[in-house]
Structure 1
Amino acid sequence: MTTKALIDQIHKKKSFLCIGLDTDLDKIPEHLLQEEDPIFSFNKAIIDATHHLCVAYKPNIAFYEAYGIKGWMALEKTITYLNAEYPEIFTIADAKRGDIGNTSTRYAKAFFEDLNFDSITIAPYMGKDSVEPFLAFEDKHTILLALTSNVGAYDYQTKKIDGVELYKEVLETSRHYEGSENLMYVVGATKAEYLAEIRKIIPDSFLLVPGVGAQGGSLKEVCTYGMTPSVGLLVNSSRGIIYASKDKDFASAAQNKARELQTQMSEELSKIE
């Protein structure tokens, strides 16, 4: 998917919501456990109930790898369903991959060609030869982990090297990678106060912003410091939406939570339109 197509969807739906499909068999409604493929059944119901309120879905790959071949089959069915039924949706493989040379190329082929995701999250700390193989794929996007929402982010990402925070060095260096026009970046909503500084380095890039909802991030602050004239944001909510209910009304409960965020996003978008 092109960046323009993503921006068009944001304005059409008046939403920059990304829904994380972190599907956990210990948390989904019990009645679904009787299904042949409970993970896919859960995902399909969530997608059908919320697709008109969001512009992206982000399966966290660990939640599928944990169930072995059955998990991978459920992931494949999920992405195939999304691409067939809702091709306008931007898809993110939250895989946090990254390795050198041909290994990265193989990871890219797995997620971009075999599974046909639009994008993938990548850990940047092995440098450009671990990132550029992903950037070589046309109309596919690489989302670098820049400043994450977890507490441990302070262990390394904000440490200064020669007076410059490491996350800023990641941002600045990556701008010069071959294919950098296909880069996006992860910046946690719990680090919203950093967004103004981040926008000085990457003023136009899309940011994938997790941490709104269950992790306590503020949508208003994210928009205040991070929104650009072309929006430039994908704000993710996972648990706060998909686990809004553990009963048979789980899909409608998820829809209601997604609509709450979409309504807030529509108000923020009206400020730049």
Structure 2
Amino acid sequence: MTSQELFENIKKKESFLCVGLDTDINKIPRFLLETTDPIFAFNKEIIDATQEFTVAYKPNLAFYESMGVAGWNSLEKTVNYIRYNYPDVFIIADAKRGDIGNTSNMYAKAFFDTMDFDSVTVAPYMGEDSVKPFMTHVDKWVILLALTSNKGAADFQYVTENDEKLFEKVIKTSKEWGTEENLMYVVGATKAEKLKEIRDIIPNHFLLVPGVGAQGGSLKEVAENGLNEKCGLLVNSSRGIIYSSSEKDFAEKAGVAAKEVQQEMSGLLKEKGLI
């Protein structure tokens, strides 16, 4: 998927919402445990209820890997279901991979060839040769960790040398590895005040922004500081949408929650003159 195709879908749906499929077997409605594949049964209902309001889905692989082969099967069925039924939706493997070149190449094959994700989150710590193998796949994206919203981000990401913070150096260096057509960045919503500084470095790249909703990030602040001429944002909400109810109306309530976020996003896009 190209950035223009992604932007066209954003305009069509008046949304830059990404729904995180952080599906925890311990949190899904109990009655689903009677099905042959509870994780997929949950995901399918959530996807059908929210697809009208979202342009992306982001399965967090830890939730699937923790269940072994059964979890991987649920993940593959989820990706295939989205791909077949809602082919305009962008699918992100939230895997945070990154290793020596040959290993990264195998990761890229796993997520792009075998699983058919559109993108994968990648850790930049090992440098260019650990990231570039993901960029050899046509119309696929690397989403590089830049500035995260967790407490431990302060341990390294804000370390300063010659008036330059480490996260700034990561962005400035890595933007030369790819293009605006295959490289996005993760920037936590709880760091919304830093988005202006980041936009000075990468004005045209798409940013994946987690942390809105249950983690307390402000969608309005993210939009004010991060929107660009092609929107340039995918704002993720996971728990705040998919766990809106633990009863039989869980999918319906998730749809309502997604619609509320979409309506706010629609207003923000109109204010910016993008729709």
TM-score (norm 1): 0.99
Residue 84, structure 1, aligned to residue 96, structure 2: no
- Report Cα offsets for 1:57-83 as digits up to 9, x if no partner: 000000000000000000000000010
Give yes or no for the alignment of 1:252 onto 2:252. yes
Deviations 1:244-264 (A, max 9, x none): 000000000000110110000
Structure 1 residue ranges (4+ consecutive) displaced by more than 4 angstroms after TM superposition = none
Structure 2 residue identity aligned to 1:145:
L
Instruction: Say whether residues 1:131 and 2:131 are aligned partners.
Output: yes
1:121-140 CA distance string (max 9 Å, x none): 00001000000000111100
Deviating more after overlay: 150-159 vs 49-58: 150-159
In the TM superposition, residue 222 of structure 1 has moved relative to its aligned partner by 0.2
Q: Percent identity?
A: 61
Shift of 1:180: 6.2
SS of the equivalent of 1:25 reads coil
Cα contact 2:180–2:205 (8 A) shared by 1: no
Q: The residue matched to 1:270 in structure 2 has which SS?
A: helix
Aligned match of 1:147? 147
Shift of 1:272: 2.2
Counterpart for residue 47 of structure 1: 47
Equivalences for residues 4-43 of structure 1 within 5 A: 4-43=4-43
Distance 1:73 1:269 in 2: 37
Tell me, yes or no, if the aligned pair for 1:174 and 1:180 is still in contact at 8 Å: no
Superposed CA offset, 1:195-225 (max 9, x none): 0000000000000000000000000000000
Ranges in structure 1 where 5+ consecutive residues have no aligned partner: none
Q: Distance in 1 between matches of 2:272 and 2:198?
A: 20
Q: Distance in 2 between matches of 1:177 and 1:16?
A: 26
Distance in 2 between the 1:236 and 1:243 partners? 14
**Conservation of the 8 A alpha-carbon contact between 2:140 and 2:182:** yes
- Counterpart code for 1:247: E
TM superposition shift of 1:178: 4.6
The separation in 2 between residues aligned to 1:63 and 1:45, in whole angstroms, is 18
Question: Counterpart of 1:89 in structure 2: which amino acid?
Answer: V
Aligned to 2:119: 119
Q: Counterpart amino acid of 1:50?
A: T
Give yes or no for contact 1:158–1:166 (8 Å, CA) kept in 2.
Answer: yes
2:108 is aligned with 1:108: yes
| Alignment partner, residue 168 of structure 2 | 168
Range moving further from structure 2, 245-254 or 172-181? 172-181
**In the TM superposition, what is the alpha-carbon distance from 1:175 to its structure 2 partner?**
1.3
Instruction: Please tell me whether the aligned partners of residues 58 and 91 of structure 1 are also in contact (alpha carbons under 8 angstroms).
Output: yes
- State the 1:100 CA deviation: 1.2
- Aligned-partner Cα distance in 2 for 1:44–1:269: 28
Corresponding residue of 1:62: 62
Task: Tell me which amino acid in the other structure corresponds to 1:77.
Answer: K
> Cα–Cα, structure 1 residues 18 and 202, in superposed 2: closer, same or farther, change >3 Å?
same
Instruction: For residue 3 of structure 1, report the CA deviation from its aligned partner.
Output: 1.1
Cα offset, 1:163, TM superposition? 2.1
Provide structure 2 residue ranges, at least 5 long, that are not aligned to the other structure. none
| Equivalent position SS for 2:208 | strand
Partner residue in 2 for 1:226: 226
Distance 2:170 2:16 in 1: 25
Q: CA RMSD in A?
A: 0.8
User: Residue 181 of structure 1: CA displacement?
Assistant: 3.8
Tell me if structure 2 keeps the 8 A contact 1:64–1:71. Answer: yes
One-letter amino acid of the counterpart of residue 192, structure 2: A
Distance 1:265 1:147 in 2: 22
Change (3 A) 1:178 1:227: closer
Mean Cα deviation higher: 41-50 or 162-171: 162-171
* Aligned mates of 1:181, 1:248 — CA distance in 2: 41
- Inter-partner Cα distance in structure 2 for 1:178 and 1:221: 28
One-letter amino acid of the counterpart of residue 75, structure 1: L
Contact 2:180 2:206 in 1 (8 A): no
User: Are the aligned partners of 2:91 and 2:117 in contact in 1 as well (CA < 8 Å)?
Assistant: yes
**Separation (CA, whole Å) in 2 of partners of 1:65 and 1:161:** 38
Matches of residues 197-216 of structure 1 in structure 2 within 5 Å? 197-216=197-216
